[in-house]
Structure 1
Amino acid sequence: MNQHYSRGASSYGVQAPPVTYSQDILLSHLTKSSAASQQDVSKGTSTTRTMLADLTNNGQRSGAAPVDRKALSQVSVQQPSLGHASKAQHGYVPPSIPHGAFSDPRIIDSIRKSGDHDRKKTWVDVDALNHDDPQAVSHYATAIFEYLREAELLRRPIPDYIDSQPEINAKMRAILVDWLVEVSEEYRMVPDTLYYSVNFLDRVLSVQRVSRSQLQLVGITCMWIAAKYEEIYPPNVGEFSYITDNTYSREQLVAMEEEVLKKLKYELTVPTAKTFLRRLLQVCNPDDQLHFVANYLTEISLMEASMLNFLPSEIAAAAIYLANLILARAPWSPTLEHYSYYAPAQIADCVEALAELHIKVNSRAQGGELTALYDKYSHSKFLGVSRVSPLPLAVVSQHLAMMLSDNSASGLSSRA
């Protein structure tokens, strides 16, 4: 990775140390980025990557946690707990899902299956196949998923918070996330750490205006918190300071950590798209290719601020759908519909948005810009899935229209 940092610095006409960059270069880059905030990322002729200097200052676990049934039965959908005033000002009201709390999670399965006795069961009971595996917690899987669907509403960023940030735009956010991907790869962090980092970042920016010069400090602090929460051996504060070319001192990171935690109200446990993707991959029992393509599509959603318009569970379902479509397989099934709680019509917009983003990421990578995720998944250990050609948006839209037409004509649903 160090060679990437040096290559990125040389593209700006400066000599940089192996890992770090000059602050002045970044400020110049971000100033140009701010002026072009409404423009898409243009293709470049350089093959260099946007690296560490782009945001410096101007100066598998196994098993699952047991479920507390009593606490679960008292869960109710509430307004998001982060930044109520700001969300009201935005006129943002989070969606809600129908849910009844039951003292025994098996009752949920019983009620869901008893809606229409004349309708043939078309989905496979995946959890029944795992009853002998204590780590699968199959008796509680449905209750856990119900809880996660509620929790994703409670700690959700404001989808359009970028519009309220006077010094930050969507491109700056993309540059920061691209760099966080690089940092997570450098320190070999687990994927969940990256997802938590971006979630914390978006939630903080939803309720607090941040200057351009402080954006990287907020971002790296969010990753530090996420690493301490998720990693077994997280990098220490000195390493996080060093990775910013010591632009921010240890004391600054510690002070910002306190501020970030206050903005998050110390609510760190949150379901991400990765959380839901794990469940859906368990349901569809994929081969390695489908597994990696779905993970790649889910991960690139972190790069785009507009994807905040969709719930993490929607993004995970859309990634499975689009991955199957890219691999020329049946994109959806009654079993996936049953366990995801989504019919194709409910995720159609998200599938199209993800397909468009896939094309955009591929195009940027060809121009050598924001290539962290593309390069990561081009590695042989991921079967090089990032090099798979994206489907044209027209093809995806046409297939969705056919799928919706067929479902409408049949009138069948696996949610019985």
Structure 2
Amino acid sequence: MFANTADHAQLHPRNALGDITNYLPARDAFEKQESLKYPLDENVDVSLSSLLKKQTENSSAQAPVEILPDPRLIDNSRTSEGNRKRKRLWKDVDSLNHDDPQACSHYAISIMEYLRKAEQTRRASPSYFNRQTDILPRMRLILVDWLVEVSEEFKLSCDTLFQSINYFDRYLSVFKVSRNQLQLVGITSMWVASKFEEVYPPTASEFSYITDYTYRKEELIKMEESILKELNYELAVPTAKTFLRRLLQVCEPNDELHYLSNYLTEVSLMDHKFLAYLPSQIAASAVFLANLMFNQYPWTATLEHYSGYHLKDFSKCLELLNYVLLLTFSRGKKGVFFTLYDKYANEKFLGVSKMQPIPQESIIKYLEKYLDYY
């Protein structure tokens, strides 16, 4: 955290987001490029034979894409009773945590019920780009990539980052924004979120500095007022990170699975198509995919019980998550929109972003087999 804005020696000079229109192709060309298609374009080789030949820089995080766990295996044991036995296999995690005051186990179920209701109402419109006349989805990608970098520069929590994107998307759902104001909305959303989440949030002057003074302190304050009014001051919102924290408490992961699940959840921030899914569905998809990448049974009876989701409830979200992960992996290798990839390539996170993703066609076939069985 920076002591004051006058001490610029503590801040690393950087280019501001700048004129993001310079990055953009024509609207028609971009919309054609961004449409979700399987398999990926020729720039991303997702064939099983190709991926099996590649070795990641971090061998300890190599994804075993060649063999996925058999969906007929339930907690490592075959059963002919199927779903009936599966429902009896879940573990009462909350009863094991009664002595931990931070677990809130006595009313954890009630808390999650409230959060599941809240996520339905405090979310952005999935189609808000249809009403925005001056901005494109690719501009959002550029901005989110930059906000990840800002959050790392200020050492903000992941919750602050998720809240920032939530405020940003919700604001654009109800208010038309010009492209020259887009960065202002993004950085002000992060300022509001940091004041809500952080013990020592950066000041308006510090956020102004991080934009290379593209926006003055007074402009941030004015935009803050507009954002708060349009959001009706509803700032306490459950995000995918909120639900992920609960699922990780339930499945008791090792460090690699923990970091990979967090990385996958943050990957969802990069694509506006995830606005069509609830935060709890995104968190479930992240845990499922992380387990699958480590060749573990992806969705135990305990996870199904505490999430309230069967795979069929989030399978499309899971397909999209793996697709965007493949794009992020490819971009990270090329140094394009690589901030999130670079963040989790650090040894602090065990380099989980270097892990080879599962080919999209393998994911689709596995899900078909899984859903047919259950």
Please, what TM-score do these two structures have when normalized by structure 1? Answer: 0.73
2:37 matched residue in structure 1: none
**CA positional deviation for 1:29:** 1.2
1:387 paired with 2:354, answer yes
**CA positional deviation for 1:161:** 0.7
Q: Relative to 1, partners in 2 of residues 1:173 and 1:22: Cα closer, same or farther, differing over 3 Å?
A: closer
**CA positional deviation for 1:216:** 0.2
- Aligned equivalents of 1:145, 1:348: Cα separation in 2: 21
2:304 matched residue in structure 1: 337
**CA positional deviation for 1:309:** 0.7
- Aligned equivalents of 2:111, 2:146: Cα separation in 1: 33
Q: Which amino acid aligns with 2:217?
A: R
- Aligned equivalents of 2:20, 2:223: Cα separation in 1: 21
Q: Structure 2 regions of 5+ residues with no counterpart?
A: 1-11, 35-40, 44-83
Q: Structure 2 matches for 1:153-168, cutoff 5 A? A: 153-168=120-135
1:401 matched residue in structure 2: 368
* Contact kept in structure 2, 1:33 and 1:172, CA below 8 Å: no
Q: Structure 2 matches for 1:277-288, cutoff 5 A? A: 277-288=244-255
Secondary structure of the residue aligned to 1:37 is: helix
- Aligned equivalents of 1:27, 1:221: Cα separation in 2: 17
- Aligned equivalents of 1:378, 1:289: Cα separation in 2: 12
- C-alpha distance after superposition, 1:280-325 (max 9, x if no partner): 0000000001001110000010010001111000000000000111
Q: Relative to 1, partners in 2 of residues 1:372 and 1:267: Cα closer, same or farther, differing over 3 Å?
A: same
2:202 matched residue in structure 1: 235
- Aligned equivalents of 2:20, 2:86: Cα separation in 1: 62
Greater Cα shift, 158-167 or 27-36: 27-36
- Aligned equivalents of 2:217, 2:190: Cα separation in 1: 14
1:40 paired with 2:33, answer yes
* Contact kept in structure 2, 1:290 and 1:323, CA below 8 Å: yes
Secondary structure of the residue aligned to 1:189 is: coil
- Aligned equivalents of 2:181, 2:193: Cα separation in 1: 18
Q: Which amino acid aligns with 2:367?
A: L
Measured on the aligned residues, the alpha-carbon RMSD in Å equals 2.1
Q: Relative to 1, partners in 2 of residues 1:276 and 1:398: Cα closer, same or farther, differing over 3 Å?
A: same
2:137 matched residue in structure 1: 170
- Aligned equivalents of 2:96, 2:24: Cα separation in 1: 56
1:20 paired with 2:12, answer no
- Aligned equivalents of 1:128, 1:30: Cα separation in 2: 53
* Contact kept in structure 2, 1:34 and 1:167, CA below 8 Å: no
1:365 paired with 2:332, answer yes
Identity among equivalent pairs (%) = 52
Equivalent of 2:105 in 121, 130, 138: 138
Q: Relative to 1, partners in 2 of residues 1:27 and 1:126: Cα closer, same or farther, differing over 3 Å?
A: closer
- Aligned equivalents of 2:113, 2:238: Cα separation in 1: 12
* Contact kept in structure 1, 2:87 and 2:301, CA below 8 Å: no
1:249 paired with 2:216, answer yes
1:64 matched residue in structure 2: none
* Contact kept in structure 1, 2:264 and 2:286, CA below 8 Å: yes
* Contact kept in structure 2, 1:181 and 1:372, CA below 8 Å: yes
- C-alpha distance after superposition, 1:195-240 (max 9, x if no partner): 0000000000000010000000000000000001101111111010
Equivalent of 1:347 in 314, 324, 329: 314
2:166 matched residue in structure 1: 199
- C-alpha distance after superposition, 1:80-109 (max 9, x if no partner): xxxxxxxxxxxxxxxxxxxxxxxxxxxxxx
* Contact kept in structure 2, 1:43 and 1:364, CA below 8 Å: no
**CA positional deviation for 1:397:** 1.2
Please, what TM-score do these two structures have when normalized by structure 2? Answer: 0.81
**CA positional deviation for 1:33:** 6.4
**CA positional deviation for 1:122:** 1.6
1:211 paired with 2:163, answer no
- Aligned equivalents of 1:40, 1:197: Cα separation in 2: 27
* Contact kept in structure 2, 1:378 and 1:387, CA below 8 Å: yes
Q: Which amino acid aligns with 2:13?
A: P
- C-alpha distance after superposition, 1:93-133 (max 9, x if no partner): xxxxxxxxxxxxxxxxxxxxxxxx99962210000100111
Q: Structure 1 regions of 5+ residues with no counterpart?
A: 1-16, 45-116, 408-416
**CA positional deviation for 1:338:** 0.2
- Aligned equivalents of 1:19, 1:343: Cα separation in 2: 45
Secondary structure of the residue aligned to 2:88 is: coil
Q: How many residues align?
A: 318
* Contact kept in structure 1, 2:17 and 2:146, CA below 8 Å: no
2:72 matched residue in structure 1: none
1:185 matched residue in structure 2: 152
- C-alpha distance after superposition, 1:225-260 (max 9, x if no partner): 000110111111101001111011011000010001
Q: Which amino acid aligns with 1:383?
A: L
Q: Relative to 1, partners in 2 of residues 1:31 and 1:318: Cα closer, same or farther, differing over 3 Å?
A: closer
**CA positional deviation for 1:31:** 5.1
- Aligned equivalents of 2:316, 2:207: Cα separation in 1: 38
Give the structure, 1 or 2, with the largest relative contact order (CA under 8 Å, sep 6 or more). 2
**CA positional deviation for 1:20:** 3.0
* Contact kept in structure 2, 1:43 and 1:363, CA below 8 Å: no
* Contact kept in structure 2, 1:204 and 1:264, CA below 8 Å: yes
**CA positional deviation for 1:137:** 1.2
Equivalent of 1:269 in 236, 258, 271: 236
